[in-house]
Amino acid sequence: MLHLRRRRRTAIASLAATLLVLPIAASAHAAQLDASAARSDALVARPAAVLAAPDISVAAVKAHLTQLQSIATANGGNRAHGRPGYLASVNYVKGRLDAAGFTTVVQSFTYGGATGYNLIADWPGGDVNDVLMTGAHLDSVTAGPGINDNGTGSAAILETALAVAAQDLTPGRHLRFAWWGAEEQGLRGSTHYVNSLTAAARAQITGYLNFDMVGSPNPGYFVYDGDNSDGTGSGPGPAGSAVIESVIEGYFAGIGVPTRGTDFDGRSDYGPFIARGIPAGGTFTGAEGTKTSAQAALWGGTAGARFDPCYHAACDTTSNVDDTALDRNSDAIAHTVWTLSAGSGGGPGTPVWADGFETATGWTVNPSAADTATSGGWERGTPGATSSGTATQLTARTGTYDLVTGAAAGSSAGANDVDGGITSVRSPAITLPSSGTLTLSFAYYLAHLNNASSGDYLRVRVVGTTTGTVLTVSGAASNRAASWSTASADVSAFAGQSVRILVDAADASTASLVEAAIDDVVITQS
């Protein structure tokens, strides 16, 4: 991460660049519902395959850091722009990606009389008109090896990319990873990359994730403030940045780690992207700033000490990393990539609204004051797993919280299930864009025993100027085990409207056991 005083907003002059353009394997958008099914009175949801984000091995991430340290040690103690240690770092990362099946491009540029390099890696498949890009700067300052700044971000996104390959992920969005050169000289590599793109190519990048210093030894847990909810600093990022922020904050809330916003202040490689209106987000564990007493109470560590006492110094070695912070941030990166790539069934597109229920966002129970259920009503909660010969209630699909009927396990499987009729819950108002294909995606289950009937159900509707049903799952006189499924529906019929999502569950049978849940709700635009 560069010093703020060294940032340059002016155009970079005299950049002699060479870009080796390689073909990127493309595939069509993930199948969408037929437009005729998007009528507001008869929307139909479709199931989709699910792959959960992997647990990124902190040992594997640290192994990359060891390699970067060895490269610096063998090359004058640093990996700085124009120095042999930087090119050796590029070659190390490129070799790992090439072996994993990525298409890699090394883009060269000139700054300060020296040649710099960006490494761009594309994962085959996904919609190339809807690119989710993840980046970190790979260079260090000349004073030291730059292991926290920014070996940690570089290594964490490398291991995430290798996890994409290991799972053979098939996302709706095209995935691109980048390692930037000359960030410490004023965001030179990322600025060159963004400026070198045609307007059409820039428009294809619908989200950028940036990770710079994610293992500071006296760490904070900062998330770029996409919606300017902290009310200070440089203001919100481009439209869509708040969704990225919400996904990252939801992950940390799910593991019980509080976060705080940090401004888009121009100190890292998101700068050229947000300047072009590309939604951005990411995490940061602190640089030369001093941890306050309040922050130490929140996160532990030492009040009055710098987040990174070796910032831009020779002591920024493999000993200058907090393993816990590195582990948490590495997993947060994978969670964010998997979630926003729509590889878990969300379909392609730029997220415009999302709720993983890790924080309360204003869902209203019994919004019409017409519910009849006597127990097991909807709530945002931490569900207890229950079973009665078959699973009837599961823990949250991701994180800790979901929308669930009667979260507590109780003394028996039937203690807190839906009884006596209908229970409903409604989302806060959601303002939809007026253009593009809009897709609502979510995870769900309906579980019941063989004393259920077709009168029992789970139903999801979108309510705007009209009402459209996007999912109905009916009960039957058989055991149905709780199992997370996903569904998505084209809701473009509601474009430009303020809508709410309405979820109902019903136990209309005598003495039947019915449970239901909803998680990971996302609306995307493509």
Residue whose entry in the numeric block shows the structure tokens 């965001």: 187
The two three-digit tokens of residue 39, written as one number: 């009528």
Question: How many CB atoms within 10 Å of residue 88?
Answer: 17
Q: What is the DSSP string of 149-206?
A: IIIIHHHHHHHHHHHHHHTT---SEEEEEEEES-GGGTSHHHHHHHHHS-HHHHHHEE
Nearest CA among 75, 49, 190 for reference residue 142: 75
For 4, the 3-state DSSP assignment is: helix
C-alpha to C-alpha distance for 278 and 265, rounded to whole angstroms: 16
Cβ 173 vs Cβ 133: under 8 Å: no
183 is catalytic: yes
C-alpha to C-alpha distance for 8 and 79, rounded to whole angstroms: 22
Q: What is the DSSP string of 110-137?
A: EETTEEEEEEEEE-S-SEEEEEEEEEEE
Residue whose entry in the numeric block shows the structure tokens 């030492």: 302
Question: How many CB atoms within 10 Å of residue 60?
Answer: 15
Catalytic residue among 159, 183, 245, 358: 183
For 375, the 3-state DSSP assignment is: strand
DSSP classification of residue 11: P
Q: What is the DSSP string of 460-499?
A: EEEESSSEEEEEEEE--SS-B----EEEEEE-GGGTTSEE
C-alpha to C-alpha distance for 135 and 127, rounded to whole angstroms: 19
Could you check whether the bond before residue 450 is cis, i.e. omega within 30 degrees of 0?
Answer: no
C-alpha to C-alpha distance for 147 and 318, rounded to whole angstroms: 6
Question: How many CB atoms within 10 Å of residue 329?
Answer: 32
Active site residues: 183
